Amino acid sequence: MLKPIEEISPFPELVRVRRAIVVLDVVESVRLTLQHEDDFIGRWRRFVVEVRDNIIPQHRGRMVKSLGDGMLMEFDTVLGAVNASLEAQQRIRVYNIGREPSAEIHLRIGVHDADVVMDDVDVYGAGVNLAARLATLAGADEVVISPEAHDALVPGFDADIEDLGDCYLKHFTEPQRAYRAGALGRHSASWSGSTAGSGDAVTIAIVPFVAKGDAVEGDAAFFGDALVDDVISKLSRSSQINVISRLSTAAFRTRVLDLDAIANALSCQYVVHGTCAISGDKVRVRALLVDCQSKMVLWADAIDGSVADTLAGGSVVVDRLTNEICKGLVHAEVHRCVTNPLPTLKSYTILMGAVAMMHRLSSRDFERSREMLVYLCERHPRATAPRAWLGKWHVMRFAQGLSPERTLDAQLARGVIAQALDLEPEHSLALAIDGLVCAYIKKDLVTAAQRYSAAIQANPNESLAWLFQSALHAYDEQGEQAVACAMRAQRLSPLDPLKYYYDNFTSTAMLSAGDFKGAIAFGKRSLRANCAHGATLRILAIAQVLDGQVDEARKTVSELLSVEPGFTASKFLDRYPGGAATQTNRYVDALRTAGLPA
């Protein structure tokens, strides 16, 4: 006698969740059963066990049910569902070895990402029906996915995706968009490209930060995206760093971090990843900079800040992240240059190392940087950037008083910059450094102004052109314009090893504008980064005297003479490009007041 439905044991509890649904079907299963019943059933049973025990667990899924000619599976992620489907297509081939074509088992699979109702026994809902109908669109050995599943994948990285357009499915009144997903092969798109990691710049990828803590997931995810956008934007201003766009790195948001996969997909040498936790208006960001090749963590730290400040664009979190990333990158590249022979190194490593070592100003590192730049010029006869930096090297040796033959250095600087501009007449860095040669060595301020304007026209983000232009305004006693250009250069250049250099020019600009305290502040910050920079010591001493800090200025001049013994006020006047300006006499008098010999 049948019991009333109320007396039947209750069903397992239902839950509504988001799942990737996979429906797997055997092509021509009826014919296979009729013609090869025992062999087909035996192979199918073994294959079902392999899928259940070996494939599904690896991709975080569950076997919902197995039929005589199909399977229903559910997975936590679309990527897991598609990878499991492609692996099943691959493994079924083993079960066809030794069989005639008519006895081979071929699979067709449908994948859909949807909100479904499920319990411990089954999965229910329209999403399951759509996955089943998508499977009917698939041919032998094919996987067809829905638009929802497609949106969770990265074409060319997760799978080879082909748009099938609008398709009509049984019991669906409207056509449904569908896509064919295949294993990556010769038709797949490639992100790496031939130039992504080549040229004169090192390449870094900033992977979206993972939301942690008690914050609302959406808010934390939004903050992490905004933070990464700001860091990418700031790093992108450096000519020595290629930064992968967030649209590309977003593909790794939900994936387990795999440095090899990221490096291969994006052709990057370094990866930054981390977490962000929000509590009220406070945020804590934990970040790591990792070398993809060695797997070594180059920098890791926790940074606290304000959510509001970060979203408003004035964040100490972004500034600190950017600076630490730059320092870590340059330190790693310099280490490669010091510990490896030049022929084994990539050109971007040598260039970045040369630029960093040039600005250290120790005699050994300074000479080593010249060797590296000369090597690059020989390795790449038509490369502009190393020639531009080599010209800068000669100007720095001239300005720092390190040149035993100033006339020769002047000639070499002009010659190598001329070569660079012959190769690429609109190369912004070469134009900027050519302007520096004109201003500092030839004291031709008119031509220098033309070169800086040409550099900025070629690339409005060429920070050195803005920096050198600030000095030009300072020489001409246009203090307000000098400060404006210097601050713009500061905003455009986050590269830490050159910060002392930018701070020195900013100090010079503020001195010209009569902001002595500002000049002193930037001068001291410059010296904290590089205590051997004679130009900074000279400007700092002048600013201190004009601000009434004569005792401090005397200490500064003492440090200057230890860096450049024999330096005098007359030598300053001889080198200073703004010698014709009326303020120059005040500068010379200030240096003498500070104790610099005449």
Q: Residue 397 belongs to a domain with what CATH number? A: 1.25.40.10
CA count, 13 A, side-chain hemisphere, 520: 17
In a domain, 536, yes or no: yes
Is the domain of 545 the same as that of 437?
no
Asked whether the beta carbons of 426 and 472 are under 8 A apart, the reply is: no
Domain boundary among the residues 280, 304, 336 is at 336
Is the domain of 170 the same as that of 289?
no
Is the domain of 248 the same as that of 373?
no
Domain boundary among the residues 149, 182, 215 is at 182
* Complete DSSP assignment for 506-551: HHHHHHHTT-HHHHHHHHHHHHHH-TT-HHHHHHHHHHHHHTT-HH
In a domain, 407, yes or no: yes
Is the domain of 112 the same as that of 171?
yes
In a domain, 480, yes or no: no
Is the domain of 156 the same as that of 253?
no
Q: Residue 275 belongs to a domain with what CATH number? A: 3.40.50.10070
Q: How far apart are CA 491 and CA 486, in angstroms?
A: 9
In a domain, 24, yes or no: yes
Own/partner pairs, 182-189, CB within 8 angstroms, 24+ separation: 182/86, 182/142, 182/143, 183/86, 183/89, 183/90, 183/159, 184/156, 184/157, 184/159, 184/160, 185/160, 187/160, 188/155, 188/156, 188/159, 188/160, 189/155, 189/156, 189/157
Per-residue pLDDT of the chain (598 residues; tens, 9 = 90+): 555 655 555 666 788 899 999 999 999 999 999 999 999 999 999 999 999 999 999 999 999 999 889 999 999 999 999 999 999 999 999 999 999 989 999 999 999 999 999 888 889 999 999 999 999 999 899 999 999 998 888 766 678 888 888 888 888 888 888 889 988 754 433 333 333 333 456 888 888 887 776 544 555 556 777 788 888 877 877 767 888 877 677 767 666 677 887 887 777 889 998 888 888 778 888 999 999 888 889 899 898 888 777 776 667 788 888 888 888 888 888 888 888 888 878 888 888 888 888 877 678 888 899 999 999 999 999 889 899 999 999 888 877 767 777 778 888 889 999 999 999 999 998 999 999 989 888 889 999 999 999 999 998 878 889 999 999 999 999 999 999 999 988 877 654 456 788 899 999 999 999 999 999 999 998 888 778 788 999 999 999 999 999 999 999 999 999 988 999 999 898 888 887 778 999 999 999 999 999 8
Q: How far apart are CA 77 and CA 192, in angstroms?
A: 25
Is the domain of 319 the same as that of 356?
no
Is the domain of 49 the same as that of 143?
yes
In terms of residue numbers, what domain contains 57? Answer: 12-182
Name the residue with tokens 């201190």: 544
Is the domain of 177 the same as that of 206?
no
Q: How far apart are CA 531 and CA 556, in angstroms?
A: 11
Helix (H) or strand (E) holding 49: helix 37-50
Q: Under 8 Å CB-to-CB from 104, ≥6 apart: which residues? A: 96
Sign of the alpha-carbon dihedral angle for 298, 300, 306, 308: positive
Is the domain of 328 the same as that of 352?
no
In a domain, 271, yes or no: yes
In a domain, 264, yes or no: yes
Q: How far apart are CA 269 and CA 294, in angstroms?
A: 10
In a domain, 303, yes or no: yes
Cβ-based neighbour number of residue 392 at 10 Å: 24
Is the domain of 35 the same as that of 154?
yes
Q: What is the DSSP letter of 7?
A: G
In a domain, 360, yes or no: yes
Is the domain of 168 the same as that of 212?
no
Q: For the chain, how many structural domains are there in total?
A: 4
Q: Residue 63 belongs to a domain with what CATH number? A: 3.30.70.1230
Domain boundary among the residues 336, 359, 383 is at 336
Is the domain of 314 the same as that of 272?
yes
